[in-house]
C-alpha cells in the first residue's frame, strides 16, 4: 500500500469503507419461521426485502471484496438458507480477499448483537467466542478485528477481546479521549491490570453520517468526494467511513451505485465501474486488517467507557430508556430486569445439572456453538467433550439445557431495547425467546420458571397500548402451547 499512490503525493489519503451488516433474529422461536411482516410489503418480511434492495445487489457488484465488513450471525444463517447465491458470493469474495492479501477484510460480530458492557462477564466471553467460531466456520479463516454491537464499549469487554485473540475494533470519535489528529488511526488503548493493549480505529463520524443520511445521487459522487472527502484526504492518512451496511441500497436506494462509484474511483479501483471515471481527490482503498498490518498504532488514546455510537446518553438507550426514542421508554429498564432475573434462574438450573455431572458449565456452553453451526450433532458433541459416560436421560437433559442457553442468549439482542415501544416486534422476540428457554428448561428438569418471570414482566408497560409485558407474555405462551 505504501508508495502505491503514484503522483498523488501528500494530497492523497487511504480510504476504508466499513459496512455493518445485521438483522435481528426474526424467527418465531417455536416454529423457526419468520411471521409475516406486513410493513415489508411487497416482500413477506424485512429480511427478504433488504436482501433484494441491499445484500444481493452489493454482492453481485463484488463490493464485499473491496470493503471492510461484518456480517451478523443470525443474518448470515438466514442468507445461507434463504438467499444462498448471495451468501455464497459474499463468502467467496471474502475468501478471495484473504487469499490475495493474507489478511481478512471481515470482522467478527458477537453472535447475538448483545450490548456487551451490559452483559455479565461470562456472557461477554460466550458472545465473543461464538462470534469468532462462527466467522471461522463461514469464511474458513480467522480475523483479528471485532465489531462491537452499537460500538458499545467498556474496558472489561476490550480485555476479553484481547484474551480471545482480537487485535482491533472500531469506535466513534465521541467515545475516545486524546489526540485524534492522525485521522482514523489506528490508536493504541492500554488495558488496566496488565491486560495488554488493543488497537482502535476511529471512524470519521461526520463523513460517515453525511454519506448515510445525506447521500448524493450517484451522478454527483465526484462532487461529494471533492467537497467531503477532499477536506480530509491529506498526508496519506487513513479516513474511515463506518456505517450500517444497509445504507447501501436499503436506507438509500442509490446506495449500491454510490458505493460502486466510490470504490471504482479509488486509485487502482477494480470494480465494475468504467475505468475512465477518475475522482477529483486521489485515494487508495484499504481494509482495516490490511492497514493495521502496515501501520501499527503510534498514538495512545483512552476510551470513554459505557458509550455507544448510536446514543449520546451513554448506554441508557438499552438499559433504562432515553430521549433518543419518543414517548415513555421506561419499559426498557423493566424488561431488562425481568430478563436478567430469568437469566439467573435459567443459569442456576443449568449450573446445577452440569456441576452434578462434573462438567464446566461455561466451557461446555462456549464450545456448543459447534452444534448451533451444524458442525456436530448434540450426542457427538457430548462424546467429543469427554461426556460419553452419561446415561441417555442425562444427555437428553443436558442438551435441552444447552439449547435453553442459546435462547437465553438470544433474549439480549440489542434491537429489543433499541426502539420506542414495548409492543414492537423486537421486544416481543425477546420475550418469545425467553418463553422458549423456559419451555426447554421445563422439558429438561421439570423446573417451571414462568412464575417469577411473569411477575417481573408486570412492571414494563407499553406507552402505545397500555398493556404490560406480562400480557404480551400470556399471548405468546398461549400460542406456544407449552
Ligand atoms: Zn439516547
Closest among 388, 382, 358, 354 to 370, alpha carbons compared: 382
pLDDT at position 359, please?
A: 93
Encode 317-342: b = buried (16+ Cβ within 10 Å), e = exposed.
bbbbbbeebeeebebbbbbbebbbeb
Say how many Å lie between the CA of residue 418 and the centre of ligand 1: 9
Say how many Å lie between the CA of residue 76 and the centre of ligand 1: 28
Calpha distance 405→129 (Å, rounded): 15
Say how many Å lie between the CA of residue 374 and the centre of ligand 1: 38
Confidence of residue 254 (pLDDT cuts 50, 70, 90): very high
pLDDT at position 482, please?
A: 62
Q: Please count the other Cβ atoms lying within 10 Å of the Cβ belonging to residue 148.
A: 27
Say how many Å lie between the CA of residue 313 and the centre of ligand 1: 4
Say how many Å lie between the CA of residue 195 and the centre of ligand 1: 30
The whole-number average pLDDT for the span 416-432 is 95
The whole-number average pLDDT for the span 319-348 is 97
**Mean pLDDT of all residues belonging to the chain:** 93
Say how many Å lie between the CA of residue 322 and the centre of ligand 1: 5
Residue 219 burial (10 A CB sphere; 0-12, 13-18, 19+): exposed
Q: Which helix (H) or strand (E) holds 187?
A: strand 187-190
Residue with cell 480485555: 159
DSSP symbol at 146? B
Say how many Å lie between the CA of residue 105 and the centre of ligand 1: 31
pLDDT at position 1, please?
A: 39
Is pLDDT above 80 for 415? yes
Is pLDDT above 80 for 10? no
Calpha distance 20→308 (Å, rounded): 14
Long-range contacts of the stretch 211-218 (C-beta < 8 A, 24+):
211/241, 211/243, 211/247, 211/258, 212/243, 212/244, 212/247, 212/251, 212/252, 215/247, 215/252, 215/254, 215/255, 215/258, 216/254, 216/258, 217/254, 218/254, 218/257, 218/258, 218/260, 218/261
Say how many Å lie between the CA of residue 311 and the centre of ligand 1: 4
pLDDT in tens, 288-313: 999 999 999 999 999 999 999 999 99
Confidence of residue 479 (pLDDT cuts 50, 70, 90): confident
Residue 83 has φ and ψ, to the nearest 5°, of -140, 60
Q: Please count the other Cβ atoms lying within 10 Å of the Cβ belonging to residue 76.
A: 24
Say how many Å lie between the CA of residue 59 and the centre of ligand 1: 33
pLDDT at position 269, please?
A: 60
Say how many Å lie between the CA of residue 53 and the centre of ligand 1: 29
Alpha-carbon torsion 290, 291, 294, 297, what sign? negative
Q: Strand 13-21 vs strand 283-285: parallel, antiparallel, or unpaired?
A: parallel
Confidence of residue 6 (pLDDT cuts 50, 70, 90): very low
Say how many Å lie between the CA of residue 468 and the centre of ligand 1: 23
Q: Is there a cis peptide before residue 186, judged by omega within 30 degrees of 0?
A: yes
Calpha distance 17→260 (Å, rounded): 11
Which residues have CB under 8 Å from 441's CB, separation 6+? 346, 349, 350, 400, 401, 404, 447, 449
* Reported pTM: 0.94
Q: Give the residues across from 16 on adjacent strands.
A: 240
Is pLDDT above 80 for 237? yes
Q: Strand 283-285 vs strand 106-107: parallel, antiparallel, or unpaired?
A: unpaired
Say how many Å lie between the CA of residue 152 and the centre of ligand 1: 12
Residue 68 has φ and ψ, to the nearest 5°, of -95, 140
Q: How far is CA 472 from the centre of its chain?
A: 27
Which residues have CB under 8 Å from 425's CB, separation 6+? 26, 37
pLDDT at position 59, please?
A: 98
User: If DSSP codes are grouped into helix, strand and coil, which group holds residue 170?
Assistant: strand
Is pLDDT above 70 for 468? yes
Q: Strand 302-303 vs strand 176-177: parallel, antiparallel, or unpaired?
A: antiparallel
Q: How many residues does the chain have?
A: 482
Alpha-carbon torsion 104, 106, 110, 111, what sign? negative
Say how many Å lie between the CA of residue 169 and the centre of ligand 1: 22
Say how many Å lie between the CA of residue 151 and the centre of ligand 1: 14
Say how many Å lie between the CA of residue 410 and the centre of ligand 1: 23
Q: Strand 13-21 vs strand 187-190: parallel, antiparallel, or unpaired?
A: unpaired
Say how many Å lie between the CA of residue 425 and the centre of ligand 1: 20
Say how many Å lie between the CA of residue 356 and the centre of ligand 1: 44
Say how many Å lie between the CA of residue 419 and the centre of ligand 1: 11
pLDDT at position 389, please?
A: 84
Residues with CB under 5 A from ligand 1 (ion): 311, 313, 317, 322, 324
Say how many Å lie between the CA of residue 241 and the centre of ligand 1: 22
What Rg, from alpha-carbon coordinates, does the chain have?
23
DSSP assignments along 297-337, one per residue: --EE-EE-SSB-SS-SSTTHHHHT--TTSSS--THHHHHHH
* Range with the poorest average pLDDT among 38-42, 408-412, 454-458: 38-42
Say how many Å lie between the CA of residue 480 and the centre of ligand 1: 34
pLDDT in tens, 365-396: 999 999 999 999 999 999 988 777 889 999 99
Amino acid at each position: 500500500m505504501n508508495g502505491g499512490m503514484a503522483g498523488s503525493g501528500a494530497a492523497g489519503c487511504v480510504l476504508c469503507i466499513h459496512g455493518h451488516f445485521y438483522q435481528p433474529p426474526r424467527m418465531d422461536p417455536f416454529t423457526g419461521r419468520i411471521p409475516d411482516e406486513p410493513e415489508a410489503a411487497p416482500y413477506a418480511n424485512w429480511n427478504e426485502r433488504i436482501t433484494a434492495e441491499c445484500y444481493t445487489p452489493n454482492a453481485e457488484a463484488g463490493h464485499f471484496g473491496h470493503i471492510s465488513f461484518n456480517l451478523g450471525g443470525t443474518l448470515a444463517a438466514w442468507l445461507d438458507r434463504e438467499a444462498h447465491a448471495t451468501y455464497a458470493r459474499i463468502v467467496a469474495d471474502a475468501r478471495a480477499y484473504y487469499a490475495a492479501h493474507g489478511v481478512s477484510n471481515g470482522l467478527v460480530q458477537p453472535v447475538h448483537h448483545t450490548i456487551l458492557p451490559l452483559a455479565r462477564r461470562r456472557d461477554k466471553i460466550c458472545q465473543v467466542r461464538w462470534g469468532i467460531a462462527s466467522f471461522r466456520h463461514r469464511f474458513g479463516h480467522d480475523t483479528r478485528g471485532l465489531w462491537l454491537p452499537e460500538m458499545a464499549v467498556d474496558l472489561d469487554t476490550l480485555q476479553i477481546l484481547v484474551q480471545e485473540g482480537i487485535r482491533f475494533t472500531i469506535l466513534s470519535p465521541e467515545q475516545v479521549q486524546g489526540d485524534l489528529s492522525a485521522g482514523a488511526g489506528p490508536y493504541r488503548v492500554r488495558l488496566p491490570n496488565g491486560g495488554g493493549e488493543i488497537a482502535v480505529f476511529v471512524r470519521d463520524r461526520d463523513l460517515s453520517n453525511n454519506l448515510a443520511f445525506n447521500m448524493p445521487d450517484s451522478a454527483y459522487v465526484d462532487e461529494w468526494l471533492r467537497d467531503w472527502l477532499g477536506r480530509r484526504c491529506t498526508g496519506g492518512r487513513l479516513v474511515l467511513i463506518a456505517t450500517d451496511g444497509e445504507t447501501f441500497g436499503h436506507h438509500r436506494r442509490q446506495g449500491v451505485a454510490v458505493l460502486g462509484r466510490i470504490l471504482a474511483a479509488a486509485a487502482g479501483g477494480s470494480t465494475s465501474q468504467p475505468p475512465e471515471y477518475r475522482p477529483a481527490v486521489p485515494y487508495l482503498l484499504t481494509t482495516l486488517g490490511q492497514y493495521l498490518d502496515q501501520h501499527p498504532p503510534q498514538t495512545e488514546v483512552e476510551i470513554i467507557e459505557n458509550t455507544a455510537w448510536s446514543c449520546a446518553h451513554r448506554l441508557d438507550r438499552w438499559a433504562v430508556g432515553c430521549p433518543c426514542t419518543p414517548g415513555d421508554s421506561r419499559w426498557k429498564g423493566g424488561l431488562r430486569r425481568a430478563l436478567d432475573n430469568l437469566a439467573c434462574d435459567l443459569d442456576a438450573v443449568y449450573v446445577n445439572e452440569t456441576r452434578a455431572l462434573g462438567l464446566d458449565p461455561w466451557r461446555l456452553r462456549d464450545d456448543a456453538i459447534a452444534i448451533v453451526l451444524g458442525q456436530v450433532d448434540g450426542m457427538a458433541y457430548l462424546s467429543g467433550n469427554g461426556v460419553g459416560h452419561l446415561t441417555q436421560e442425562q444427555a437428553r437433559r443436558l442438551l435441552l439445557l444447552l439449547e435453553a442457553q442459546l435462547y437465553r442468549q438470544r433474549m439480549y439482542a440489542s434491537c429489543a431495547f433499541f426502539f420506542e415501544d414495548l409492543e414492537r416486534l423486537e421486544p416481543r422476540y425477546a420475550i418469545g425467546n425467553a418463553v422458549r428457554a423456559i419451555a426447554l428448561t421445563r422439558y429438561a428438569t421439570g423446573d417451571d420458571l414462568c412464575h417469577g418471570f411473569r411477575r417481573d414482566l408486570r412492571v414494563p408497560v407499553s406507552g402505545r397500548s397500555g398493556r404490560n409485558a406480562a400480557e404480551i407474555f400470556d399471548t405468546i405462551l398461549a400460542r406456544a402451547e407449552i
